[in-house]
């Protein structure tokens, strides 16, 4: 279905894994693509332009249009230049899929300051920077035309933000932050005609093909390939499409053959006091409540259904 003919999309980290599949998905719907990727190793080290060039070639071979951008998404100036690439080369920007990132998993007691900073930077700042410059463009474009425009922001989080993933404090924190900044962006962008949603996949990529997750994500000998990236990425195409114009401010989980919508945080119980709380009145109110409850062992996972 070519429902994105004429639309311009940026996918960050589009040279590999999910980003590459997202770019191919959007190209198959007719979008013109900016393929951003720094070409780093799985831990964020190094740089390589070749993988992004290969995806650009792949899209051109499909009959599509694509240009590469080799910048670092978490660098303010590179992010500005990334949005500028879409505007200069294709004359506009409709869809921004923030996807780039890497992991450095460690238990909190083994994590270095550098590993914490690098992962929070690439995911959280690496989402915020392109999002900021895209928002400037969308706001100005809508004000200029005097009408809502066509815009889609799709940010990538992870179930780790729900589970409080024990060996990924840096990554889980960044992904929780990404959900928070997307919710704010969704509120601001609605009046300009731009939707903003969070995409949470599970897929066999470089990120999940080594270490403790390798066996779980392995391709089965037979039967449905539960963790193929292509199971998840049609949702990015859908959220980017005209059909999703009323969907904004939501968090989606997708893998296997199931798509789930995460409910917003709620209040489990509320207690009021006639005066300022003190230790005794707090214990009188909260003690009986927690007597019936167990400590939370799995983050919000058990309650997320």
Ligand X SMILES: NC(=O)c1ccc[n+]([C@@H]2O[C@H](COP(=O)([O-])OP(=O)(O)OC[C@H]3O[C@@H](n4cnc5c(N)ncnc54)[C@H](O)[C@@H]3O)[C@@H](O)[C@H]2O)c1
Question: Which residues between 127 and 186 bind ligand X (CB under 6 A)?
Answer: 156, 158
In terms of Cα–Cα distance, which of 208, 162, 198 is closest to 178?
A: 198
- Verify binding: residue 201, ligand X, rule CB under 6 A: yes
The Cα–Cα gap between 134 and 71 comes to: 16
- Find the helix or strand (DSSP H, E) in which 33 lies: strand 32-36
Q: How far is the CB of 173 from ligand X (least distance, A)?
A: 13
- Verify binding: residue 19, ligand X, rule CB under 6 A: yes
- Verify binding: residue 60, ligand X, rule CB under 6 A: no
**DSSP bridge pairs for 261:** 252
Stretch that binds ligand X, among 31-39, 105-113, 233-241, 278-286 (CB under 6 A): 31-39
- Verify binding: residue 208, ligand X, rule CB under 6 A: yes
- Verify binding: residue 13, ligand X, rule CB under 6 A: yes
- Verify binding: residue 74, ligand X, rule CB under 6 A: yes
Q: How far is the CB of 79 from ligand X (least distance, A)?
A: 9
Taking CB under 6 A as the criterion, the residue among 85, 99, 170, 233 binding ligand X is 99
Among candidate residues 150, 175, 192, 241, the one labeled active-site is 175
The helix/strand/coil state of 238 is helix
Question: Which residues between 238 and 297 bind ligand X (CB under 6 A)?
Answer: none
DSSP H helices, the chain, are 17-28, 50-61, 76-90, 113-120, 126-145, 160-163, 169-189, 214-217, 229-232, 234-240, 279-291
Taking CB under 6 A as the criterion, the residue among 3, 28, 30, 39 binding ligand X is 39
Active site residue 175: yes
- Verify binding: residue 122, ligand X, rule CB under 6 A: yes
Half-sphere exposure (Cβ direction) of 216: Cα atoms closer than 13 Å: 8
Stretch that binds ligand X, among 11-19, 142-150, 190-198, 280-288 (CB under 6 A): 11-19
If the CB atoms of residues 185 and 203 are measured against ligand X, the closer one turns out to be 203
Task: Find out whether 19 and 45 touch, Cβ atoms under 8 Å.
Answer: no
- How far is the CA of 285 from the CAs of 37, 276, 280, 289, in angstroms? 53, 13, 9, 7
The Cα–Cα gap between 210 and 61 comes to: 31
Stretch that binds ligand X, among 53-61, 66-74, 270-278, 284-292 (CB under 6 A): 66-74
Task: Find out whether 247 and 35 touch, Cβ atoms under 8 Å.
Answer: no
Active site residue 7: no
Count of helices and strands (H, E) across the chain: 11, 8
Burial of 29: CB neighbours in 10 Å, binned 0-12, 13-18, 19+: buried
- Verify binding: residue 115, ligand X, rule CB under 6 A: no
Stretch that binds ligand X, among 99-107, 108-116, 218-226, 263-271 (CB under 6 A): 99-107
Residues of this chain that interact with ligand X (CB under 6 A) are 12-13, 15-19, 36-40, 42, 44, 72-74, 99-102, 122, 126, 156, 158, 200-203, 205-208
Catalytic residue annotation: 158, 171, 175
């Amino acid at each position: 279905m070519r429902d994105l003919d004429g639309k311009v999309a940026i996918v960050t980290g589009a040279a590999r894994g999910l980003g590459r599949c997202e770019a191919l998905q959007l190209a198959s719907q007719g979008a013109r693509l900016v393929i951003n990727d720094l070409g780093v190793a799985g831990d964020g080290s190094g740089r390589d332009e070749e993988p992004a060039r290969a995806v650009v070639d792949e899209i051109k071979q499909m009959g599509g249009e694509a240009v590469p951008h080799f910048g670092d998404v978490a660098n303010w100036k590179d992010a500005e230049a990334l949005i500028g690439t879409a505007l200069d080369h294709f004359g506009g920007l409709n869809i921004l899929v923030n996807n780039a990132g890497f992991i450095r998993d460690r238990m909190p007691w083994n994590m270095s300051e550098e590993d914490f900073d690098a992962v929070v930077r690439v995911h959280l700042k690496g989402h915020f920077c392109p999002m900021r410059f895209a928002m400037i463009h969308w706001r100005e474009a809508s004000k200029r035309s005097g009408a809502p425009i066509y815009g889609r922001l799709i940010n990538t989080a992870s179930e780790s933000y729900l589970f409080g993933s024990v060996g990924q404090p840096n990554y889980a924190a960044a992904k929780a932050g990404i959900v928070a900044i997307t919710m704010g962006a969704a509120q601001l962008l609605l009046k300009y005609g731009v939707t903003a949603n969070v995409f949470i996949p599970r897929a066999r990529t470089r990120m999940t093909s080594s270490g403790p997750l390798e066996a779980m994500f392995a391709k089965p000998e037979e039967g449905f390939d539960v963790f193929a990236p292509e199971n998840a990425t049609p949702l990015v195409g859908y959220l980017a499409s005209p059909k999703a114009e009323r969907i904004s401010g939501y968090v989606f989980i997708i893998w296997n053959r199931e798509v789930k919508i995460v409910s917003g945080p709620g209040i489990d119980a509320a207690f009021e006091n006639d005066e300022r709380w003190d230790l005794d009145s707090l214990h009188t109110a909260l003690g009986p409540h927690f007597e019936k409850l167990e400590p939370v062992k799995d983050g919000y996972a058990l309650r997320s259904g």
